[in-house]
Amino acid sequence: MKLTFLGSGDAFGSGGRFNTCFLLESGAKRILIDCGASSMIAIRKFGVDPATIDAVLVTHLHGDHFGGLPFFLLDAQLITRRARPLKLFGPPGFEKRLLAACENFFPGSTQAKRPYEFSIAELSPETPHDVAGFTATPFEVVHWSGGPPYAYRIEADGKTFCYSGDTEWVDTLVPAAKNADLFVCEAYFFDKKVKYHLDWRTLEARLVEIGAKRTILTHMSAELLARLGETACETADDGKVVEF
């Protein structure tokens, strides 16, 4: 597999980073994991052709994780002139929230005829789902967003990737990331405990139990970005490419 961090930032652009958006590839399969509000800018900056994306998998319903989708869909219709099918996946409540966002930003856009096959699916937790050739299993985490927030365990071609999404510590992260080839995890603060977010020290204490081969921190606040040398863990950056 190959992962490209198109956006590795938090909701507030800390460190000048784009909102969360990852490109995951395995062979010819290509999906986006999250598509935050700034994602079309990141997609253009890093030279990704949005027409080659087969699916978008959303962790939770905050704008910095799915707010770029109205722009992605309008680009597919008017600019990229997409022809291949596009599948969108997310937690329960995803379809209603996405269509409302599209109408708020671009009134009438949900009624426009699309020149490509389009579908939205809402995923149940702890059940494997086929996401454009990847097997994605959602694990419910703890991050209030108006719908169930998910971490995802994603498998393809003998490799396993896990992304925590945004969450405070929850024990479901252990089976979600257990022995993964790559675990990308939020670490919002260094050691400050806040509801709905994870800090580095809490995560550090559980890494042996999780047993991932490689762990990369993402979604870091300005406070953690100022202390990167103290984390003893690899960190994400916009444009970073990881093969595993």
CATH superfamily of 2-243: Ribonuclease Z/Hydroxyacylglutathione hydrolase-like (3.60.15.10)
Q: Give the model's pLDDT for residue 170.
A: 98
**pLDDT under 70 in the chain at which residues?**
none
Q: Give the model's pLDDT for residue 35.
A: 99
Which tens digit of pLDDT belongs to each residue from 17-63?
Answer: 999 999 999 999 999 999 999 999 999 999 999 999 999 999 999 99
| Structural contact between residues 230 and 199, judged by C-beta atoms closer than 8 angstroms | no
**Whole-prediction pTM value?**
0.97
Distance CA 87, CA 70 (A): 14
81 CA to centre of own chain: 24
Q: Give the model's pLDDT for residue 86.
A: 98
Q: Give the model's pLDDT for residue 60.
A: 98
Identify the CA nearest to 143 among candidates 65, 88, 232, 48: 65
The count of residues in the chain is: 244
Determine whether 64 is an active site residue.
Answer: yes
Q: How many CB atoms lie within 10 A of CB 232?
A: 8
Q: Give the model's pLDDT for residue 178.
A: 98
Q: Give the model's pLDDT for residue 19.
A: 98
Which candidate in 34, 64, 166, 199 is catalytic?
64
